[in-house]
Amino acid sequence: MATTTTTVPSAGPVAASRSFLSRLREGDEIARMITFLFAASVVLVTVLLVFELWQGSVLSRHKFGFNFFRTSVWDPIFEQFGALPFIYGTLVTATVSLLIAVPLGIGAAIFLAELAPERVSDTLEFFIDLLAAVPSVIYGVLGVFIVVPLMRQYIQPALRHSFGFLPLFQGPDYGVGFLTAGIVLAIMVIPYIISVSREVLLSVPRDQREAALSLGATRWESTWKVVVPFARAGIFGSVFLALARALGETMAVTMVIGNTPVISASLFSPGYSIAAVIANEFTEATGDLHTQSLIELGLVLFILTFILNGVARLLIVATSKRGSGMGNV
């Protein structure tokens, strides 16, 4: 944002001083119009998307109304559809994944940006970018063959042994379920958090660090109290990028979540997510109401993402006004 608001006014007077025709002839105006069209297409796609989802779910919206969000029966044969277990599963798996990925990811980014020698940092960055580019189905396969057996045989029994008094860690050891899906998602989103956060931390001006050090701060104090707060907005950005991916991830989740529409306090329980049920049932949905309910689920996922993104924006604005954030740059 900051760069566009500073460059546009300076270009404005120059552009205005020439006639429209000369701007057209020299190509400026054409470039402007073409790039404007490209930018406008983003808005167009979003609007079309919402319109299609809204239109496509008209039957199920009328039949179920608000009950769609309140009931938890999903029965394609008797045509009863309630979205609650899917919304719950989506939110739970995304939360678990962020609880794991955020501390790990930001910690790793701090090490890479502030503490590691440049060569180590650059080499690791190469691997992180590689991980971010691995297709999700491969993470799903890893989840099925490695994470699921590990969960069933070691991690779940161990967690139950230590924390079994909590309802979070009760129930039989299927291996698949909310926790496993959350862990696989965490593995998938960590590269995003590290990569973006590292870039943001590296872009913090050198004089900020030097000022802190000159006041007698230790290396860690300058990192934790000056550099990280300065980069806060960008770090939040990386977390919300990760959240968006976790909410919408389909393939890897459906392979390890157990695909059962239940709401359970236990993280060991199998569950279901919105993206997974759409992918699973859309092709074989024969009844109109079934198809439309799946489309309405798509709408729900869109709204969910929209709300969370809005909250993210507000959070960034609020925090950057309060402190010495990027807003001042």
Partner 1 sequence: MKRIAGMLLVVLAVAGVLWADSALSITGAGATFPYPMYSKWFDEYHKKNANLEINYQSIGSGGGIKQVTEGTVDFGATDGPMNDDQLKAYQDKHGFGILHFPTVLGADVPAYNIPGVTAELNFTQDAIAGIFLGKITKWNDPAISGPNKGVNLPANDIVVVHRSEGSGTTYIWTDYLSKVSEEWKTKVGKGASVNWPVGLGAKGNESVAGTIKNTPNSFGYVELIYAIQNNVPYGRVKNSSGAFVKANLASVTAAAAGAAKNMPDDFRVSITDAPGKTAYPISSFTWLLVPAKFSDATKRDAIKGFVKWMLADGQNYTEALSYAKLPKEVVAKELKALNNVQ
Q: Which residues bind partner 1 (CB under 8 A)?
A: 73-78, 80, 144, 148-149, 152, 172, 174-176, 254-255, 258-260, 270, 272, 276, 279-281, 283-286
Long-range own/partner contacts, residues 165-173 (CB < 8 A, 24 or more apart): 167/265, 167/266, 168/265, 168/266, 168/267, 169/266, 169/267, 169/268, 170/266, 170/268, 171/264, 171/266, 171/268, 171/269, 172/268, 173/268
Report the residue number, 114 or 249, with the smaller CB distance to partner 1.
249
| Whole-number Å distance between alpha carbons of 155 and 140 | 18
**Residue located via tokens 């291996």:** 175
Q: What's the closest the beta carbon of residue 60 comes to partner 1, in angstroms?
A: 16
Shortest separation between residue 178's beta carbon and partner 1, angstroms? 13
Helix axes 274-281 and 288-322, enclosed angle (nearest 10): 150
User: Which residue number, 85 or 105, has a Cβ lying nearer to partner 1?
Assistant: 85
CB of 158 to partner 1, least distance (A): 18
Question: Residue 246 or residue 256: which is nearer to partner 1 going by CB?
Answer: 256
Q: How many CB atoms lie within 10 A of CB 125?
A: 19
Q: How far is the CB of 275 from partner 1 (least distance, A)?
A: 13
Q: How far is the CB of 298 from partner 1 (least distance, A)?
A: 16
Helices (H), 249-287: 251-256, 274-281
| Pair of tokens at residue 104 | 């790990």
Closer residue to partner 1 in complex, CB, 132/251: 251
Closer Cβ to partner 1, 156 or 320, answer by number: 156
The vertex-252 CA angle with 251 and 254, nearest 5°, equals 65
Instruction: CB nearer to partner 1: give 280 or 319.
Output: 280
